[in-house]
Structure 1
Amino acid sequence: MKEQDHDRLLRIKTEGIREWQHQSAHYNRYEATPYIALEALFNEYTCNSSDKFVDFGCGKGRFPFYIHHHLHVSVTGVEMSGQLYQESMENLASYMGRSKQTRASIGFERMLAEEYKVDFKDNRFYFFNPFSIQIFQKVIDNILLSIENYPRSVDVILYYPTSDYIQFLEINTPFELFKEVKVPELYEQNSNEHFVVFRCE
């Protein structure tokens, strides 16, 4: 299924790349995770209805809408850009107008990722290189503090992972590599086209 066809199925608009008007050393451009990659991930990575995802740098919301529709799990998208947040909310209105009722919740927060207060139910965290390693470290520290206060198994999922993110998790945190998922159709041309999942239990 083509990108625009999958968007049409979910009644959302998430295609395209968005460069920032003023380049930032800490925040990367908007680019949605390819649907073909999401399909590859969830063919091999399982989750439960009780899981709750957080997508940091969610942009227009493709990842939240995909997992809410296909996996029926709760998800929160966190986005700092006012314009992208507005587009995610427009997508939400369109999506909810036709989506089947489910116990799983879906919502979006406009804020800096490091200011997001990790809920004790949040246990799956998704990153597609949204920001610098400095901000990533702050977000992971917030997650670890939440685990300390409310012990639980937590996964950090990285798509197109950078060496900085991986090294920080491996060297400076109790997270351990749990799974790697390659995107078959894309990996042969680009070895960055894969997911790594780190788990803290």
Structure 2
Amino acid sequence: MLQFIFTKTERYPGLEVEHNQFQRNVQTLIVNFKYRGFWRTILGVLAIICAKVGLPVLEEYRFFKQNRRESGLDTDGIVELDELDIPDGMRSSASRYEAASDFEFRHVLEKLHIDYPAYNFIDYGSGKGAIHAAAARYPFKSVSGVELSGEMHQIALRNIETVKQQDRVRAASLTSVHGDATSYALPPCPHVIYVFNAFGADVLQAVLDGISADLADVREPIYFLYNNPMHHKLLDMNPDYTKLWNAFGGKWMVFAKMK
């Protein structure tokens, strides 16, 4: 039992970082109780169990269906790399779209205990906009996403309009940009940066180089929230970054860049 608890594995080799899945599942359950509430979480767990044993009941309480029904956003699912409309020359450094958990994100973000109005938030490889829609719940100076796929970007724009109509935006501005993460310029102010394994090591290194250049004069900490950190060694070996903690069994890593 102890060997299982402390063993790092990945369910999807090549697509998911090795992490302690037992620890992740426990923390995910706790976070669901925190944001979803007791009964909706219990129903969601029962729905998963029913699906695994082949019982056609409680299907509407599956977590992803709860999310879509309650948020009104089109953010769930997986879009494989060959289905994404991105330039052929960039495919070798791109990753598939996979929905991220806004509850995991909110838990990690809130642990920073930052002054939100002093910070910009940027999501590199923002897909359908689930995470920067979640970030807009907080009073950031601005919330932006950068997405290479035109189709994903258009979905993100629709989702942004939805959260605005629902009056759930506390950030001073909320935008999605269709473009290349390596050429996106950041204004020289404090940032919280989020990446969900959106690209390969070569593009991540170019993004890190751009961050260093654009934010060279910023004296406040720059936070880097890395979800599914397949290429975390680039930050581990970078003397400008300090790892603050792991979350969800190592499925998330949080770094800070100090002046």
Range into which the TM-score falls when normalised by the shorter chain: 0.7 to 0.9
- CA shift, 1:5, in A, is 2.6
Is residue 29 from structure 1 mapped to residue 96 from structure 2 by the alignment?
yes
Give yes or no for contact 1:3–1:34 (8 Å, CA) kept in 2: no
Which of residues 148, 155, 159 is equivalent to 2:216? 148
Give yes or no for contact 1:125–1:156 (8 Å, CA) kept in 2: yes
Instruction: Mark the runs of 5 or more structure 2 residues left unpaired by the alignment.
Output: 1-35, 37-62
1:90-112 CA-to-partner distances (Å, cap 9, x unmatched) read 11122211214635221110001
Distance of 1:33 and 1:19 partners within structure 2: 15
Q: Which residue type is aligned with residue 104 of structure 2? A: A
Task: Give TM-score, length-normalised by structure 1.
Answer: 0.84
Distance of 1:100 and 1:58 partners within structure 2: 19
Indicate the structure (1 or 2) with the bigger Cα radius of gyration: 2
Task: Give TM-score, length-normalised by structure 2.
Answer: 0.67
- As a proportion of its length, which structure holds more strand? 1
Report the count of equivalent residues. Answer: 189
Which residue number corresponds to residue 4 of structure 1? Answer: 65
Which residue number corresponds to residue 174 of structure 1? Answer: 240
Q: 1:156 to 1:138 in 2, by over 3 A?
A: same
Which residue number corresponds to residue 195 of structure 1? Answer: 252
Structure with higher RCO (Cα < 8 A, 6+ apart): 1
Which of residues 114, 117, 122 is equivalent to 1:54? 122
- As a proportion of its length, which structure holds more helix? 2
Q: 1:46 to 1:9 in 2, by over 3 A?
A: farther
1:72-94 CA-to-partner distances (Å, cap 9, x unmatched) read 32310110000000000111122
Give yes or no for contact 1:124–1:156 (8 Å, CA) kept in 2: yes
Root-mean-square deviation (Å): 2.1
Percent identity, aligned pairs only, is 22
- CA shift, 1:46, in A, is 2.9
Give yes or no for contact 1:123–1:155 (8 Å, CA) kept in 2: yes
